[in-house]
Amino acid sequence: MHHLSDVIDDLRELTTGTTEEVTVTEFRGQQRIVLPKSVLKDSFGRLRDNWGFDLMVDITCVDYLNYRGARNRFGLVYVLASSGANTRLVLRVMLNEPDLSVVSAVPFWEGADWLEREVWDMFGICFEGHPNLQRILMPEEFTAHPLRKDYPLQGRGERHHFPTLTRSEA
Amino acid sequence: MLQTEPIAPISLSADEADVKAEDYLWTLNFGPQHPATHTTLRLVLKLDGERVVDAIPDIGYLHSGFEKLGEHLDYNQYVTVTDRMNYISPMANNVAWHHAVEKLLDIEITPRCQYVRVIVSELARISDHLLSCGAMGLDTGAFTFFLYAFYQREVIYDIFETLCGARFTNSYTRVGGAMHDITPLVVEKIRTFLDTFPKTLEDMERLLNRNRIFVDRTKGVGVLSKEEAIATSASGPVARASGVTLDVRKDEPYLAYGDFDFKVCCMRTGDCYARYLVRMAELRESLKIVRQAIDNLPSGPINVGVDERTALPDKRQVYQTIEGTITHFELMMNNRGFQVPQEEVYAAIEAPNGELGFYVVGDGSHVAYRARCRPPSFIHFAVFPRLIRGHTLSDVVAVLGSLNIIAAELDR
C-alpha cells in the first residue's frame, strides 16, 4: 500500500532544478496531479513501475476555449488505477496552440491505443510515438476536430456535404 | 503426359516467401451490416483459408456525437441520450450519468433512492447478461437458449414499464432522485421475477454449460491472459474472466452497495467460455442483491427535498404548493437552475459491460461543459484483434458475442 502523497513527492522530484512544477488540486476527494509536459514520459514510467498504476482507465481531453478563468486551451486527462492497491489517480497535462503534441502512453499501457486515437480524432492532439495515430470515429477524409469548442453543433461536416460514391466509382 | 519425377520443392528467399505468403491471404469484409455482428460494426479480416491471420476493426459507423450533445443539453435532459449508448441496459447508463452529475454538484441522494437505483441497475445487469449470453448462444447454434433468455428479458421490460412507463429507453433517473417512486405493484412484479427466474436460470445452465457443441466452440477460443487484460484496460466480466478481481461495486462502493452481501465472480482461463460462465454466475449474484434490496427497501422520499432545489418536484407539488411551483420554475429556467461549481470530476459505476465512467466538467451554467463517457465496449473492442488471431472465421462471432460489443456505446 502506498499513499498518494508519496507518489506526488516522487513526481515532484522530476521537476527539481527546473522552473516548471507539479501542482496538485483536489475536488470531492479526487486528487489531480497537473504535470508539465516535459516530465510526462518519466512520470508514466514511474507511475507504472514504481507505484503500480497498471490500468489506464481513460484518456480524454477538455477544450477550455471559453471557460471562465482558464489559462490553457486544452487539458488532457489521464485516469489511472492500480489493480492491486485499489487506488485511482487523475493526471492532467495542459497544452496550448501551436504545440499540440504530447508523448504517447501506448508504450506503457497498451489500452491507451484507441483512447489516444479518439482524442486525436476529436481534439487534434498529436501523440508522439503512437503506433497508428489515425482517425477512429470520424471518416478518414474529415478535416476538422469536432469536439473542439470552436466547432459548432450544427452546420458543418454533415453527411450531405460528403461526396457521393456510386457503385461504378467505388 | 504423365509426370513420373517428383516435383522438386521450390525454395524462396525470405522476401519472396513473405510476398508468396501474402498471396494466400484473403481479405474479407465482416459487416457493417451482418446478422452476426448484431449491431453496425465492421471488421476487415485477413484470412488464410478458414484461419484468421489478422483483424482490423473499423468503427465509427454509428457515431452520433453524443459527447457534443452533452455540451448542449442540461443535466436532466442528457439522461435521454445516455439511454441510447448501451441500449441493452439503459438503466445502468442513467444511473452512471447522474452518479457523476451528483458527485459534481455534491448532492446526497436519499437512502430510498440509493436502494431503488441499486435495484434498477442490477435488473439492468440481468437483462444485459441475458442478452449477451443469449446472443452468444444464438451465434454458436443454441437457439432455444436465446429464446429462454429473451423471454426473461421481456419480464424485466415489463417491470421497467410499470416503474417508469418506458420499456426500452427508460430515462429513469433525475438529478437528486428519480422520475417516479417505486410502487407496491413494481415491488410485487420484481418479487415474482425473483421467484420465477432462478428456475429458468437453472434450465439455461443445464442447456448450455455442458453442451458439447457450445463448449467445443467457446473453450480455449479468444484467450485473454490476466496480464493482457490489465495492459489493455479491460474491465467488467471480460477482465474478471481473466482473473482480474476488479469490481467497482466492491472496490469503491457507490450508492448502497456496501450494505449488500454478494460475491465478485471470477475465472482464470480467460476464454469465451469463461466469460460466459462469469456472466451466468453474475446473474445469480445480481438476483441476491435485488432480493436484499427489495427486502430492506427504506421508506421515505425518493427525491431530495423540495427546499434543496435540486430534484424536480412531482406535478402534485408543482400545482398545489408554493414551494413546489417555485422549485419547478427555478430549475426550469436556464439562468437559475442548479448551483454548478466550476470544477470537473470523474465518477464510474460497474455497468454490466464493465466500468462505465463519466468525466463531467461544470462551468457554472445549466449544461455540462464537457460530458465524456468512458465506454467499456470501446476498450474491449480494441482487444478483439488479439483475441481472434489464429482462430477460425466461425470463431469471430463467438468472440464478438463474449465481449458483448454494443456499437451504439462503441461509437457514441
Nearest-10 Cα torsion for B382, B388, B390, B396: -150
Do residues B31 and B14 make contact, with C-beta atoms less than 8 angstroms apart? no
What is A4-161's CATH topology?
Answer: Beta Polymerase; domain 2 (3.30.460)
Q: In residues, how long is chain B?
A: 412
What is the per-residue pLDDT across B203-258, written as a single tens digit (0 to 9) for each?
A: 999 988 888 889 988 888 888 999 889 999 999 999 999 988 888 888 888 888 88
User: Tell me, what's the pLDDT at B119?
Assistant: 93
C-alpha to C-alpha distance for B303 and B111, rounded to whole angstroms:
10
In this prediction, what percent of chain B has a pLDDT beyond 90? 32
By the CB < 8 Å criterion, does A68 face chain B?
Answer: yes
Residues of chain A in contact with residue B252, where contact means CB-CB under 8 angstroms, are 86, 88
| Residue A160: partners with Cβ closer than 8 Å, 6 or more residues away | none
Whether residue B36 has pLDDT greater than 90: no
Q: What is the mean pLDDT of residues B266-288?
A: 91
Which residue of B67, B234, B345 is in closest CB contact with A28?
B345
Whether residue B3 has pLDDT greater than 90: no
Beta bridge partners of B373: B358
- Where along chain A do its domains lie? 4-161
Whether residue B5 has pLDDT greater than 70: no
Whether residue B115 has pLDDT greater than 80: yes
User: Tell me, what's the pLDDT at A1?
Assistant: 46
**Domains assigned to chain B:** 23-58 (no CATH), 66-106+109-303+341-411 (1.10.645.10)
Tell me A99's DSSP state. B
Which band of pLDDT confidence, cut at 50, 70 and 90, is reported for residue A2?
A: low
Q: What is the mean pLDDT of residues B15-29?
A: 70
What is the per-residue pLDDT across B167-214, written as a single tens digit (0 to 9) for each?
A: 888 889 988 888 888 899 999 999 999 999 999 999 999 988 888 889
Which residue of B59, B65, B370 is in closest CB contact with A146?
B65
Among B162-166, B310-314, B341-345, B367-371, the least confident range: B310-314
Q: What is the mean pLDDT of residues B72-99?
A: 90
Q: What is the mean pLDDT of residues A106-110?
A: 90
User: Tell me, what's the pLDDT at B122?
Assistant: 93
Whether residue B90 has pLDDT greater than 70: yes
User: Tell me, what's the pLDDT at B155?
Assistant: 93
By the CB < 8 Å criterion, does A67 face chain B?
Answer: yes
Mean pLDDT, rounded, of chain B? 86
**To probe the interface with B, which of A25, A48, A54, A57 has the most B CB atoms within 10 Å?**
A57
In this prediction, what percent of chain A has a pLDDT beyond 90? 18
Q: What is the mean pLDDT of residues B43-59?
A: 87
> Hey, which residues 134-163 in chain A have their CB within 8 Å of chain B?
135-139, 146-147, 151, 153
3-state secondary structure chain B: CCCCCCCCCCCCCHHHHHHHHHHHCEEEEECCCCCCCCCCCEEEEEEECCEEEEEEEECCCCCCCHHHHCCCCECCCCHHHHHCCCCCCHHHHHHHHHHHHHHHHCCCCCHHHHHHHHHHHHHHHHHHHHHHHHHHHHHCCCHHHHHHHHHHHHHHHHHHHHHHCCCCCCCCEECCEECCCCCHHHHHHHHHHHHHHHHHHHHHHHHHCCCHHHHHHHCCCCCCCHHHHHHCCCCHHHHHHCCCCCCHHHHCCCCCHHHCCCCCCCCCCCCHHHHHHHHHHHHHHHHHHHHHHHHCCCCCCCCCCHHHCCCCCCHHHHHHCHHHHHHHHHHHCCCCCCCCCCCEEEEEEEECCEEEEEEEEECCCCEEEEEEEECHHHHHHHHHHHHHCCCECCHHHHHHHHHCCCHHHHHC
Residue type (1 letter), B406: I
Residues of chain B in contact with residue A27, where contact means CB-CB under 8 angstroms, are 341, 343-345
By the CB < 8 Å criterion, does B106 face chain A?
Answer: yes
Contact A58 B372 (CB under 8 A): yes
